[in-house]
Amino acid sequence: MTELDHYLDIFEREALPIIQETGKYIFRELQGFDHSKVETKEKNSLVSYVDKMAEKRLVAGLDNLYPDAGYITEEEVTETKLRELTWIIDPLDGTTNFLQGIPIFCVSVALRHHDEIIAGAVYDPARDEMFWALSGHGAYVNESRIEASAKKILSEAIIGTGFPYHDMSQLEGHLDMLADMLRRGRGMRRLGSAALDMAYVAAGRLDVFYEHTLNIWDIAAGIVLVQEAGGVVTDYEGGQQAGTTGMVVASNKALHPVILDAIRTHIL
């Protein structure tokens, strides 16, 4: 077994149960949640004690798997360290949904080896669905293999997107893009969780997802999920900088050029 295979084996056998148990903790907290303990990080960006406790639980469990690994985490309950192996964690993606009692949220965890994301998991506790992928080994939901959709025509596509919380500098272009997709696509969806959007692209439930002003922890697990499911993930210019620019397009291979062309027309 190579060193990389060893990392992947541990992720599948030991990290997935930790991620699942954290998601179950979040779902239990949905009932009787104390709204007095909600903080505002910035405009329309909220954090709760559940986000922070979920992150602590993840870090405590994952620390035992690769003791020398670093972390990039949303809530910063542990020091950010970039190492040969780095965990990228969003403990509760879809916090606003959670706070409103809308059961569309998830735990998102990815493992990066040097500059490559080698494993990722997105767990939806409301549906008990674990989307997970290992580099070179495909993508799955629970025990079933998943693949990106095979649709080739935009008029047949279900398209997911998201809206900015605070940076409205490109709002006009994105509204033009939204109007175009509403006219040309089969339907639009806005779930409120980018990690789940990307998992749904990997599973063929969404054919396309695009959004800007995202962070690396929002999309890291989704990147390996979509790629291992046979899809494509790029930034808005078609490059590989989605994790740094915060602009992501995830789709099947046939529709990706169509979406990039529309983005060039309306946004760039």
Band (164; pLDDT cuts 50, 70, 90): confident
How far is the CA of 162 from the CAs of 142, 192, 205, in angstroms?
Answer: 26, 7, 16
Mean pLDDT of 160-167: 82
| Bridge partners, 248 (sequence order) | 211
Q: What is the pLDDT of residue 44?
A: 43
The burial class, CB within 10 Å (0-12 / 13-18 / 19+), for 20 is: middle
DSSP result, 115-154:
TEEEEEEEEETTTTEEEEEETTS-EEETTEEE-------G
**What is the tens place of the pLDDT at every residue in 102-123?**
999 999 999 999 999 999 999 9
Q: What is the pLDDT, as a whole number, of residue 74?
A: 82
β-bridge partners, 113: 85, 116
Query: What's the mean per-residue pLDDT of the chain?
Result: 92
For helices 16-29 and 49-62, angle between their N-to-C axes, nearest 10 degrees: 160
Contact 249, 256 (CB under 8 A): yes
Res 41 pLDDT > 60:
no
Q: What is the pLDDT of residue 76?
A: 72
Least confident of 22-26, 58-62, 74-78, 231-235: 74-78
List, for residues 182-232, the tens digit of each pLDDT value.
999 999 999 999 999 999 999 999 999 999 989 999 999 999 999 999 999
CB atoms within 10 A of CB 253: 12
> What percent of the chain clears pLDDT 70, i.e. is strictly above it?
92
Look at residue 35 and tell me whether its pLDDT is greater than 70: no
Residue 140 reports pLDDT greater than 50: yes
The domains found in the chain, sorted by start residue, are 3-146 (3.30.540.10), 154-266 (3.40.190.80)
